[in-house]
Amino acid sequence: MRKKLIVANWKMYKTPDEARAYIAAFLPLVKEHNRGDIVLCPNFVCIPTVVDALRGSAIGAGGQDLSWEKEGPYTGEVSAHMLRAVGCSHVIIGHSERRQLFGETDDGVNRKVKAALAAGLQPIVCVGEVLAEREAGLTEDVLRRQCGIAFREIGGDDAAPLIMAYEPVWAIGTGKNATPEMAAEAHGVIRAEAAKACGEEVAQNLRILYGGSVKPENAASLMDQSEIDGALVGGASLDPQSFAAIVKY
Ligand code: PEP
């Protein structure tokens, strides 16, 4: 049985003071919760505050992106080992907003996955099709390409910490959901690609999250699918009550 994982992607929201207030409200709401894992991914400047406020809880912290370089003259970049040094356990890689707005490529995603794994971070790798690709019947091709390149040159054992997130781009921040059947089909494609690249055992243990307008109202129907191992939550993770309701679906 794969344990469910619910990840909050706060995107470019919240100051350190707001992050601390959020966690003060959130922790009591999930105090009794032990059915699944929880990770909060704030912006870079909030990470130390979040790590500090989460101390003593079982909740992890993660970055929303990273550089594939370790250090050097790369203005504006943050490396895997810097994320580790401030207490991150996870990092989101290849989010569609990075791909669409900031020129993230499949090759860049692969380099970042390798850098994260080498530093001991668990990458949460986002893949998913845009609406035109779904309408043209290209969803499977897109997922195979994105996964094939993301998994390149990653050996079986090294891939064990990997987490994938299927995020149909047309469902992110739009209020539209993939149906549980659409998600299950996409997750099957991702798992098959993982098996091809990293072996059957890694693929069977791989957690594949669903992301795209997950809300308290639809969390249970998505999470009840055996192929859906958790959720990556954007908008609805910004409010502690709403995120707690998703965690406890
Ligand atoms: C996301 O940003 O990864 C996401 C899924 O956003 P939302 O939940 O707002 O659709």
148-198 pLDDT, tens digit per residue, is 999 999 978 899 999 999 999 999 988 888 898 899 899 999 999 999 999
- Please state the atom number of ligand 1 nearest to the C-alpha of residue 174: 10
Q: What is the pLDDT of residue 32?
A: 87
Q: Cα–Cα distance between 96 and 105 in angstroms, integer?
A: 10
In whole angstroms, what is the distance from residue 2 CA to residue 90 CA?
A: 17
Work out the mean pLDDT of the chain and round it to a whole number: 96
Residue 167 a catalytic site member: yes
Number of other residues whose CB lies within 10 A of the CB of residue 115: 21
Structure tokens at 135: 């309408």
List the catalytic residue out of 97, 104, 133, 167.
167
Residues 83-118 pLDDT 10s: 999 999 999 999 999 999 999 999 999 999 999 999
Q: Who lines ligand 1 at CB under 6 A? A: 9, 167, 172-173, 211-214, 232-236
Structural domain including 140 reads: 4-248
**What percentage of residues in the chain have a pLDDT greater than 90?**
90
Ligand 1 centre to CA of 73 (Å) is 32
Tokens 């490396």 belong to which residue?
A: 79
Tell which atom from ligand 1 comes closest to the C-alpha of 235. Answer: 9
Which CATH number characterizes residue 203's domain? 3.20.20.70
Mutate to test the pocket of ligand 1, among 213, 215, 238, 243 (most ligand atoms within 8 A of CB): 213
C-alpha–C-alpha distance, residues 134 and 200, integer Å:
28
Active site residue 95: yes
The three-state DSSP-derived secondary structure of the chain is: CCCCEEEEECCCCCCHHHHHHHHHHHHHHCCCCCCCEEEEECCHHHHHHHHHHHCCCCCEEEECCCECCCCCCCCCCCEHHHHHHCCCCEEEECCHHHHHHCCCCHHHHHHHHHHHHHCCCEEEEEECCCHHHHHCCCHHHHHHHHHHHHCCCCCCHHHCCCEEEECCHHHCCCCCCCCHHHHHHHHHHHHHHHHHHHCHHHHHHCEEEEECCCCCCCHHHHHCCCCCCEEEECHHHCCHHHHHHHHCC
Check: CB of residue 112 under 8 Å from CB of residue 94.
yes
Q: Side chain identity at 55, as an amino acid letter?
A: R
For the chain, the domain total comes to 1
Q: In this predicted structure, what is the pLDDT of residue 35?
A: 85
Chain segment 206-236, per-residue pLDDT in tens: 999 999 999 999 999 999 999 999 999 999 9
* Cα 243 to averaged position of ligand 1 atoms, centre (Å): 12
pLDDT, residue 181, reads 87
